[in-house]
Amino acid sequence: MLRKSFDTISVMAMRDAKIHARIAVGLPTREEDMEEENYKAAGWAAIASALLFVLAFGLLLYDDLGKYPTLNLPGSPVNILPMVILLDAISKVLLIYAWLRFRTLLNQPYQFHAIDTLIVVLLVGGVLLGAVSYLGRGLPELKVPVAVTGAIMAVTLGIIGIVTATRLLRLNGDLGGMLKPLAYTFMAASICFALVILTPVGLVLEVAVAILLGVTLLRGHEEPEQIEIV
């Protein structure tokens, strides 16, 4: 019994010694390696989300254009709305995961919490806005009330997005050079949604935001020299 306890203590001591040795020479620990892999996975998830959204939007656009005889497009022989909803749903799940990992990135090394709640509000609002838009397509008789509701939600989320981007620019660090491109692109997309009439441009910019978010996460986190607690 004593020998078994001694062996267990020896193994733990050797493990701790290896961890301290890696830290002493500047090598990442196993936990840091795993955290870095999680950030990379979230980065690829964000990029995949952008590609899936483009595919879903492209299918929807092609189906809509096929309804105009003057364009002489064959259109879709089947109802593609369920497929589009599925692709968009997968895209949103991946994007939610990426944004939550981005929030962790801001929380841990930078101790930055100024947009924690805003990120959650934007994610939930984005899901609800998508559901409302698909409801309008599935139930044409509700097109007008759905359009009004969607416009109000778009303006609200656009304003919240502008506030989020503005606060993000207060981060004491540059996220490997990605802070300003990400924040300003996100702000531009939010302005487009807030103006409603520029929503198509906002959708294009949202794709760019997802890609920039992915690149930021793929670079992992770099410990800032000075940490500002917000």
161-183 pLDDT tens trace: 999 999 999 999 889 899 999 99
- Identify residue 47 by its one-letter amino acid code: I
Residues contacting 108, CB < 8 A, separation 6+:
221
Number of domains in the chain: 1
The predicted structure's pLDDT at residue 124:
97
The predicted structure's pLDDT at residue 14:
46
Residue 9 forms part of a structural domain: no
| Tokens 């196993």 sit on residue | 30
Residue 1 forms part of a structural domain: no
Residue 28 forms part of a structural domain: no
The predicted structure's pLDDT at residue 88:
93
Residue 189 forms part of a structural domain: yes
Give, in order, the Cα–Cα distances in Å from 39 to each of 49, 97, 116, 171. Answer: 15, 10, 17, 19
The predicted structure's pLDDT at residue 220:
63
The predicted structure's pLDDT at residue 99:
97
> Which residue range(s) make up the domain with 72?
33-218
Which of left, alpha, beta for 198 (phi over 0: left; psi -120 to 50: alpha)? Answer: alpha
Buried b (16+ CB within 10 A) or exposed e, 67-104: eeeeeeeeebeeebeeebbebbbebbebbbbbbebbbb
Residue 169: other Cβ atoms inside 10 A: 12
Alpha helices by DSSP H, 30-80: 30-65
Residue 131 forms part of a structural domain: yes
Rounded to a whole number, what is the distance in angstroms from the first to the last CA of the chain? Answer: 51
Residue 15 forms part of a structural domain: no
Distance (Å, rounded) from C-alpha 201 to C-alpha 189? 7
Residue 57: other Cβ atoms inside 10 A: 18
The predicted structure's pLDDT at residue 34:
80
- Name the nearest CA neighbour of 207 among 43, 46, 40: 46
The predicted structure's pLDDT at residue 131:
92
The predicted structure's pLDDT at residue 44:
96
Residue 141 forms part of a structural domain: yes
Residue 192 forms part of a structural domain: yes
The predicted structure's pLDDT at residue 129:
93
Distance (Å, rounded) from C-alpha 45 to C-alpha 211? 10
Could you list the pLDDT tens digit for every one of the 230 residues in the chain?
A: 545 444 444 434 444 444 444 444 444 555 666 888 899 999 999 999 999 999 998 888 877 676 655 555 565 556 788 888 999 999 999 999 999 999 999 998 889 999 999 999 999 999 999 999 888 877 878 888 888 999 999 999 999 999 999 999 999 988 989 999 999 999 999 999 999 999 999 999 999 999 999 999 998 655 444 444 44
The predicted structure's pLDDT at residue 140:
78
